Chains A and B, each alone.
Chain A
Amino acid sequence: MSLDLSRFHQTFFEESFEGLDTMESALLRLDPASVEAETINTIFRAAHSIKGGGGTFGFTAVSAFTHLLETLLDQMRSGSRPVTAELVDLLLRSVDAVRELLNAARDGRPANLDLIAGHQLALEQALAGKPVAASSTGGPATEPPPAAARGWRIRFVPQPGLFRSGNDPLRILRELAGLGSLSAEAQLPEALSLADTQPEDSHVSWNLELLSSASEATVREAFAWVEDECELQISPLLAADTRPALTLIQGGKAETPPPAASAAPKARAGSERRSAGEGTGSIRVPTDKIDVLINLVGELVITQAMLAQTGANLDPVVNERLLTALAQLDRNTRALQESVMGIRMLPMDFVFSRFPRLVHDLAGKLGKKVRLETVGADTELDKSVIEKIADPLTHLVRNALDHGIETAAERLAAGKPEEGVITLRASHRGGSIVIEISDDGRGLSRDRILAKARSQGLDAPDSLADAEVYQLIFAPGFSTAEVVTDVSGRGVGMDVVKKNILALNGQVDLGSRPGQGTQVTIRLPLTLAILDGMSVAVGEEVFIVPLAAVVESLQAHPEDVKTIGHSARVVRVRNEMVPLMALHDLVGLPAATENDRNLCILIESDGRKLALGVDDLLGQQQVVVKNLESNYRRVPNMSGATILGDGRVALILDAGELVRRLQPAVAA
């Protein structure tokens, strides 16, 4: 029988990558000055599992390399090799090498052998640096049976306690019988009196004759589990030796009394509870299954809203029972929605955990001293958002390290502690998560930003407020670093960071104090599947404005609305002139016949404001976001659509795009 093990590869890769992450974070925690045994144990266990799995599933390169790693770790664990910073560095690099090997194995491509060979050599040299007995599997040298041997004579005297290690002489006899023709003679000790016998002890000793061409090593192998629990003599059975054959063992049946193991039958009721899987805290589920579930719950929420709307028109007395049931449906749907959303929530640690290594490596490369602090790593966020925020965050952390934190000398000269601090902080605020990346470095230089902006042809008058100057950093192609380093100047600018965050319906703000540091604040919705929106009416149509973008709604006095040039209008809001755009113009609907109320919704994005003229404000509600591009096609100024309680489709406005689109037209 040959079983195909490839079905387990996916699990093996997943757990191995997790194991590598565990190793990495534990290695970074490892302080050569005070080594915690459990930390090394954790690292060792992870390496050990990867090695074992690699061997079992046929990834020999992985298991061979990890074996070196494991041997080194074992020496560290047992204390025979001191933990040094160099060793930790070597182990970290080895983790990368294993990752490369695993990636290559998973993708079915050859591994980057130069990388691997270099690390392998380093590991081998480290191991050779101190002669420690290798834990090789070489067994004792086996002698071939003498030429004349036709088998083996075996004297086997088990110790009384043999059964108590779960062993059974019959198992060994069966195994020997499988090697050839076995005859056995059982002996009871002559001096044994019945009073001395213990039902749980093994008192029988054996004289065996095995007619077989098997080597002595093979025969000894059968006794491997009990060799220190018995007396064992094995001698060749020569052709000349003609002793009478002993009792033939067949099918493992012999006339020894069974051990007392069966003497204590346990009455087990058939109704005994099944405990399989009990205690396993989690299961792995493919994400697409969860996505389907979330989608279905979204549909259910819409259906429920339709029912609620229909129910609202019914006579509460006549339909009391129906309405009670509808109210219950409402509660249950909400609870279901929340728990289903909860499934996809992952702690921020998912992203934060990659930064200690990044900071460790980059700080080393830049010759800076930097400490990373994370706060609120257990704050939860939707998986799809977490995955998309990882790259922007990485970029911001790189920036903080490269441009923000000064060198140790510069810091000391400025009267700051030698070690810079980068803080990652996550917290929930309302329906959003706020992530802060702050450093205590040199801060942003207003003058340098302005100079750079002008050299790039951007409009940057001196009158700009600090906040507006900082926003210039987010302009495409902007970089103040004088030298493009291989750390952060990779051509991916802050504009990409901002674009990614806006695409998640998020906001990004920047604060800085010269000499004291920079702080980037990102605000994101907890999930992309549901949106808090303000529903507004234009004629017969309903539109949703994301609540995150809404600053206020107001009724403008006619004298506050001014027309500039031919058609551009602005509205005065507390002495600030804000561009005004009628939503019906924007979406190509006829103006409402009677609209003298000048109802406006003030939205803000990228630090710029825009007033949208609407016919009516309908209220605030949570809507299930449907992707327009996958269901219909991309619509300008709209980020998505939703289905309302009455079954109609409402488009969701894209505040960022609206502001970007209208601003230049008005400014011109």
Chain B
Amino acid sequence: MSLRILAVDDSASMRQMVAFTLQSAGFEVTEAEDGQVALNLAQKEKFKLVLADVNMPNMDGLTLVKNLRTLPDYKFTPLLMLTTESTPEKKAEGKAAGATGWLVKPFNPEQLIATIRKVLG
């Protein structure tokens, strides 16, 4: 069974890039364009990993992570933030919300695959 990943970003090009990259590495990817859509999807299906942008309309990435962590299915699931900020405060905010870690934008496809492989083992 291939592993299903949920990619959440309001930017279509980022979403497509992430999806394409991960698919070419053998993962299955579902896309969502904001936190609310992602949360709805996650309630219907358990994803192995969630990659979420921070700044999004409707529901931002931090709120999404907070909400996901309250779901029994997502108690231990790796939830990674895609962020352009790498200040300690931003990271602390992410951690406080329940994020597993982060990937600092811009990243290239190779870095993305390496990180996901590391997390999913």
A228 touches B76 (CB 8 A): no
Q: Contacts A8-B20, A166-B100 given; indicate if A273 touches B44 (C-beta within 8 A).
A: yes
Chain A, residues 224-236, CB within 8 Å of chain B (1/0): the string is 1100110000000
Chain B, residues 1-18, CB within 8 Å of chain A (1/0): the string is 000000000111110110
B13 touches A55 (CB 8 A): no
Cβ-neighbour of B95 out of A165, A273, A276 (below 8 A): A165
B13 touches A11 (CB 8 A): yes
Chain A positions within 8 Å of B16 at CB level: 8, 11
User: B67 within 8 Å of A by Cβ?
Assistant: no
B101 touches A56 (CB 8 A): no
User: B84 within 8 Å of A by Cβ?
Assistant: yes
CA distance A7 to B53 in the complex (A): 21
Q: Contacts A49-B10, A53-B13, A166-B78 given; indicate if A278 touches B110 (C-beta within 8 A).
A: no
User: A1 within 8 Å of B by Cβ?
Assistant: yes
B56 touches A1 (CB 8 A): no
Chain B positions within 8 Å of A15 at CB level: 11-13
User: A200 within 8 Å of B by Cβ?
Assistant: yes
User: A519 within 8 Å of B by Cβ?
Assistant: no
Chain B positions within 8 Å of A1 at CB level: 24, 109-110, 113
CA distance A224 to B103 in the complex (A): 11
Chain B, residues 34-68, CB within 8 Å of chain A (1/0): the string is 00010011001110000001011100000000000
Chain B positions within 8 Å of A56 at CB level: 13-14, 17, 105-108
Chain A positions within 8 Å of B102 at CB level: 225
Chain B, residues 68-111, CB within 8 Å of chain A (1/0): the string is 01001101111100101111001010010011111011111110
How many Å from the CB of A277 to the closest CB on chain B? 8
Cβ-neighbour of B118 out of A12, A175, A276 (below 8 A): A175
B77 touches A11 (CB 8 A): no
Chain A positions within 8 Å of B109 at CB level: 1-3, 5
B119 touches A275 (CB 8 A): no
A52 touches B106 (CB 8 A): yes
How many Å from the CB of B28 to the closest CB on chain A? 9
CA distance A131 to B14 in the complex (A): 32
User: A483 within 8 Å of B by Cβ?
Assistant: no
CA distance A55 to B30 in the complex (A): 23
Chain B positions within 8 Å of A272 at CB level: 44-45
How many Å from the CB of A373 to the closest CB on chain B? 27
How many Å from the CB of B102 to the closest CB on chain A? 7
Chain A, residues 1-44, CB within 8 Å of chain B (1/0): the string is 11101011101101100000000000000000000000000101
Q: Contacts A11-B12, A171-B118 given; indicate if A275 touches B110 (C-beta within 8 A).
A: no
How many Å from the CB of B30 to the closest CB on chain A? 5
Cβ-neighbour of A228 out of B82, B92, B104 (below 8 A): B92
B14 touches A167 (CB 8 A): no
Q: Which residue of B lies closest to A228 (CB)?
A: B95
Chain B positions within 8 Å of A51 at CB level: 84
CA distance A567 to B64 in the complex (A): 81
User: A261 within 8 Å of B by Cβ?
Assistant: yes
CA distance A13 to B87 in the complex (A): 28
Q: Contacts A3-B24, A135-B85 given; indicate if A279 touches B32 (C-beta within 8 A).
A: yes
How many Å from the CB of A57 to the closest CB on chain B? 7
Q: Contacts A15-B12, A264-B72 given; indicate if A2 touches B41 (C-beta within 8 A).
A: no
Q: Which residue of B lies closest to A264 (CB)?
A: B72
How many Å from the CB of A213 to the closest CB on chain B? 20
How many Å from the CB of B98 to the closest CB on chain A? 6
CA distance A41 to B35 in the complex (A): 16
Q: Which residue of A lies closest to B54 (CB)?
A: A48
Chain A positions within 8 Å of B85 at CB level: 135
Q: Which residue of A lies closest to B42 (CB)?
A: A275
CA distance A57 to B108 in the complex (A): 8
B100 touches A261 (CB 8 A): no
A261 touches B75 (CB 8 A): yes
Chain B positions within 8 Å of A200 at CB level: 75-76
Q: Contacts A44-B55, A264-B72 given; indicate if A170 touches B13 (C-beta within 8 A).
A: no
Chain B positions within 8 Å of A273 at CB level: 44
Cβ-neighbour of B57 out of A8, A45, A164 (below 8 A): A45
Q: Contacts A1-B113, A52-B11 given; indicate if A275 touches B41 (C-beta within 8 A).
A: yes
Residue from B11, B31, B109, B121 whose CB has the most chain A CB atoms within 10 Å: B11
Residue from A49, A163, A166, A278 whose CB has the most chain B CB atoms within 10 Å: A166
How many Å from the CB of A164 to the closest CB on chain B? 6
Q: Which residue of A lies closest to B120 (CB)?
A: A171
Q: Which residue of A lies closest to B85 (CB)?
A: A135
Chain B positions within 8 Å of A14 at CB level: 12
How many Å from the CB of B48 to the closest CB on chain A? 11
A3 touches B20 (CB 8 A): yes
Q: Contacts A11-B16, A44-B55, A174-B121 given; indicate if A165 touches B84 (C-beta within 8 A).
A: no
Chain B positions within 8 Å of A135 at CB level: 85, 87, 90
Cβ-neighbour of B106 out of A2, A49, A55, A264 (below 8 A): A55
Residue from B84, B105, B113 whose CB has the most chain A CB atoms within 10 Å: B84
Cβ-neighbour of A167 out of B11, B56, B101, B108 (below 8 A): B101
Chain A positions within 8 Å of B106 at CB level: 52, 54-56, 63
CA distance A3 to B24 in the complex (A): 9
Q: Contacts A8-B17, A11-B16, A48-B55 given; indicate if A2 touches B73 (C-beta within 8 A).
A: no
A2 touches B110 (CB 8 A): yes
Q: Which residue of B lies closest to A261 (CB)?
A: B76
Q: Contacts A5-B17, A45-B10, A56-B107 given; indicate if A166 touches B76 (C-beta within 8 A).
A: yes
B56 touches A45 (CB 8 A): yes
Chain A positions within 8 Å of B86 at CB level: 137, 139
Chain A, residues 264-306, CB within 8 Å of chain B (1/0): the string is 1010100011011111100010000000000000000000000
Q: Which residue of A lies closest to B28 (CB)?
A: A276
B46 touches A268 (CB 8 A): yes
Chain B positions within 8 Å of A9 at CB level: 13
How many Å from the CB of A53 to the closest CB on chain B? 5
User: A259 within 8 Å of B by Cβ?
Assistant: yes
Chain A positions within 8 Å of B118 at CB level: 171, 174-175
User: A252 within 8 Å of B by Cβ?
Assistant: yes
B13 touches A171 (CB 8 A): no
A165 touches B98 (CB 8 A): yes
How many Å from the CB of B117 to the closest CB on chain A? 10
Chain A positions within 8 Å of B108 at CB level: 56
B46 touches A266 (CB 8 A): yes
B45 touches A225 (CB 8 A): no
B13 touches A276 (CB 8 A): no
Q: Which residue of A lies closest to B18 (CB)?
A: A56
Selected A-B contacts with CB under 8 Å, 5 pairs: A2-B110, A8-B20, A48-B84, A56-B106, A277-B31
Told that A9-B13, A49-B55 touch, could you supply 8 new A-B pairs with CB distance under 8 A? A3-B24, A3-B109, A12-B11, A174-B118, A225-B100, A252-B121, A278-B40, A278-B41
Residues of B within 8 A of A (CB): 10-14, 16-17, 20-21, 24, 30-33, 37, 40-41, 44-46, 53, 55-57, 69, 72-73, 75-79, 82, 84-87, 90, 92, 95, 98-102, 104-110, 113, 118-119, 121
Which 7 residue pairs across A and B have the least CB separation, nearest first?
A55-B106, A225-B101, A166-B100, A12-B13, A261-B76, A166-B78, A11-B13
